[in-house]
Chain A
């Protein structure tokens, strides 16, 4: 949940000194330029998970909400490779369909947050003045309300649909995205090529789109990469509290919460989704990290 959000603070500061021109950093750099096993193994897992989830209807799995009255809380048996849950529903099917929810939220929420944050940050950084002031206050206010409280209130007000879960989770990513954008925009808004475009009479919108946006997109991509696993974890926490997508739609956090009640008697119900969620989030973290290093390299080489 929210406790993970600040990993970005740590990892961001991490990049800069690495780019510093000193021997150790350069050596490190060379190593990190190759995408090693730390990238490929998690990547393969992610592809497997993604394929499994996207093509879920084609695997011939029993429907995720169908109750098998014969097997209730069953360990793995014929027809239910991972067993069944409290209501006798196929666990594998629920995990696969639940993955659709987790992955959708994982991708959609950061994009929504970064999209909105980008707009706010661009406006604040480009126009400065009172627009900057107002946006700054709004962002500070938004930061002052703990993330989970925002989610709690939103899910109670609008709760139930996948779309609303994505949006309310996306809102959490706005402040940081806006700040990153604002800082980057400030940096570029005074550069020669922007001033030149201005002198040539280009519209503000065109300048932002053509001159500034391409330059500030990289830190935002890095930011999205960090946020995907965070979004998945927060969605899990929401489901765990019963505040995410509505029943009978499965989601990983929801299956874990259901299985928690019988953890000591039927541990498989909670443990399989936990394992899948853990490995997936870990993979996203590792892949994201590798890609970010690569991005840093590319940018470094380009300048």
Chain B
């Protein structure tokens, strides 16, 4: 299944990426040279490897996590199907409420202990225990408990049919990777992780680097080539890019438009691209004045120019989207409210007629102090001004922004739909009245009904159709505005081979090798 993943063709990427990307994949895995070291530049430090203590990992954290720990399943982005990893086969009962997984035999943790069903059950039950306050729990709370039937068989008991189970078991961003029970109990997992992965954790100097080395006892050791991988944490985009160009690092992750464009032009670098789900968004707060007014919200929706932002800020390195479900699903027009100043003005007029106001009150937009955040605010301010809506910008840093959004202290804020193998749980949390993640104040019984139906849908197709319906209703409301969909870029130097495209933004360097000739 690994080879299938490595040699898969690239769907829906730019022509440039096609040329550059396939070059890396055309070479079959057997050509790989063993040995060598790789240096990967990451944007942020990892918070910790333990899913309860460390919380949810960002894309950069996942890159490291993938080398050390593994989840039960892998996910093939091309077919959108789960594939075997630590679990080799699985089945479910007719009601789809009990899922049974057979585990791979002879897998050992880095500390020498055996991987078995007890580890899996202990891991999931720990997350599901409300007393542990795991951040992953809300997302997988449909799982009621996990039972180790015998050392190589484990059962997942669900509250209702749930199509998101397999995607969530394969995620590396939170609950997916299975740690060794002993390391978790000893409390060392968070800062020195023990897993079954192809690389063993060696050292972590916070804010500087994380080093892993080859695990000679890996169950699939033949596929692993590198001796050692160093992850260097370089938060500054320019610094990261300069390091790649001057050769101090071999692989770089970035999402800044100008750097991507420049790197794509650079013939000495290899571009890796992948399309994904999720989207950067603007939240319009319908929970309080003045945006609780539908007309004003819709006016702002039409005054938002997604195309301009993707062009200027992302430099077209991310697509404009009409829904956050990614390329797996075509929802048609989905009631998307496009940039249209004339329509925005109509809605502004309707607002004035309705409320009797002569002026539109100043709307407060919070954004981060990063270049990305500033550009976002400055562009929206200009286009809204054209529609006659004054926006006041308030730059805040990330943690303040999160706080203000949660405490309902904003009118407009930048936000994101995280990319997920299945977007259902996120959409559900956004749309349900009373959900504490319903940040924009959706309060539509019809939407709630569709959301419930989506959650318990018994087939993936039905689930996705219902997700489209949800998105259409949310788009119509005008409180979620997209500012670029999911497309991810990573860059490597020529000598690095065997790195697949960054699925969901996660660069998988576990199977890479160094080819000094090129």
| Chain A residues near B (Cβ < 8 Å) | 65-67, 69, 72, 86-88, 156, 159-160, 242-243, 246-248, 257-258, 260-265
Contact = CB atoms under 8 A, between A and B. Distances in A.
B379 A87 contact: yes
A248 B377 contact: yes
Contacts of B379: 67, 87
Interface residues of B, number: 25
Contact of B258 (A67, A87, A88, A262): A262
Given A247-B395, A261-B256, A65 B371 contact: no
B312 A242 contact: no
Contact of B375 (A87, A156, A262): A87
Interface string B383-414: 00000000001110100000000000000000
A242 B381 contact: no
Given A160-B395, A260-B238, A261-B237, A247 B377 contact: yes
Most chain B Cβ neighbours within 10 Å, of A156, A248, A260, A265: A248
Interface of B: 237-238, 256, 258-259, 261-262, 308, 311-312, 367, 369-371, 374-375, 377-379, 381-382, 393-395, 397
A242 B378 contact: no
Nearest to A265: B262
The 8 closest A-B pairs by CB, nearest first: A242-B369, A247-B374, A261-B258, A248-B378, A246-B395, A67-B382, A262-B258, A247-B393
Query: A interface, by DSSP: helix, strand, loop or mixed?
Result: loop
A72 to B, nearest CB: 6
A65 B379 CA distance: 9
Nearest to B238: A260
Contact of A242 (B258, B259, B395): B395
Contacts of B261: 265
A67 B312 CA distance: 11
A242 B370 contact: yes
Given A242-B395, A264-B262, 4 more contacts: A67-B379, A86-B312, A247-B395, A265-B262
A274 to B, nearest CB: 15
A214 B107 CA distance: 84
Contacts of A86: 258, 312, 375
A255 B308 CA distance: 20
A17 B385 CA distance: 61
A81 to B, nearest CB: 21
Contacts of A159: 395
A65 B377 CA distance: 11
Contacts of A260: 238
Contacts of A264: 262
B263 to A, nearest CB: 11
A242 B371 CA distance: 8
Contacts of B367: 247
Nearest to B256: A261
A66 B369 contact: no
B378 A65 contact: yes
Most chain A Cβ neighbours within 10 Å, of B258, B259, B311, B397: B258
B238 A261 contact: yes
A242 B369 CA distance: 6
B316 to A, nearest CB: 12
B371 A261 contact: yes
Contacts of B395: 159-160, 242, 246-247
A261 B259 contact: yes
Given A65-B378, A86-B312, A258 B371 contact: yes
Nearest to B311: A72
B358 to A, nearest CB: 24
Given A246-B395, A264-B262, A87 B378 contact: yes
B374 A242 contact: yes
27 contacts: A65-B378, A66-B382, A67-B378, A72-B312, A86-B375, A87-B375, A87-B378, A87-B379, A159-B395, A160-B394, A242-B371, A243-B369, A246-B395, A247-B377, A247-B378, A247-B393, A247-B395, A248-B378, A248-B393, A257-B371, A258-B371, A261-B258, A261-B259, A261-B371, A262-B262, A263-B238, A265-B258
A23 to B, nearest CB: 53
Contact of A87 (B238, B312, B393, B394): B312
B242 to A, nearest CB: 10
Nearest to A242: B369
Contacts of B312: 72, 86-88
Nearest to B368: A242
A66 B386 CA distance: 11
Contacts of B256: 261
